[in-house]
Amino acid sequence: MALRNPPHAQHGEGDQPKAGGGANNPVRAARRLRQEMSLPEVLLWQRLRRRAGGPKFRRQHPIAGYVADFYCAEAKLIVEIDGEAHNRGDRPARDEVRREALIDLGLTVLHVPAAHVLADVDVAAEAIVAAALPLHRPAGGPPPHAPHGEDLMGAH
């Protein structure tokens, strides 16, 4: 019996193992996820992409074998929009492994609950932009209000 790569659904949204090609290729997954963004992701992207003079964000950005919902390279900031599915099954454990791997690369990971985005997308966008601005970041470290891997806006 030949072994095959597991389907994407087994790994979850943006949670791709490191692989060079085939169905688990993070670049291909990112392209697909850009076409399948959730409503909270779409609403945030509409605000984050049009910030003249502000930090530049990329959406569904492949990094270290994973796909980040949003990424700001200049701030080394990953923003993850966490929906209800992030609280089910083995997802919390997989999210923790992913978060630790990204932090080990010197990245800051902010988790924003999808419900908070839907409640007030402008407040969520402002908080994300503030976390990415250089004047809010100590040299070589995370913003003071959002330590490595902690939740932005209070819940995971």
What's the CATH number where 117 sits?
3.40.960.10
Q: Say which DSSP state 153 is in.
A: S
Complete DSSP assignment for 54-116: S---EEEEEETTEEEEEEETTTTEEEEEE-GGGGSTTHHHHHHHHHHHHHHTT-EEEEEEHHH
Predicted confidence band of residue 83 (pLDDT cuts 50, 70, 90): confident
Banded pLDDT at 3 (limits 50, 70, 90): very low
Percentage of the chain beyond pLDDT 70 is: 63
Q: Which domain holds residue 110?
A: 38-156
State the total domains in the chain. 1
In a domain? residue 52 = yes
Domain contains 32: no
Q: Taking the model in full, what pTM does it have?
A: 0.67
pLDDT grade, residue 10 (50/70/90)? very low
- Partners of 71 in beta bridges: 58, 78
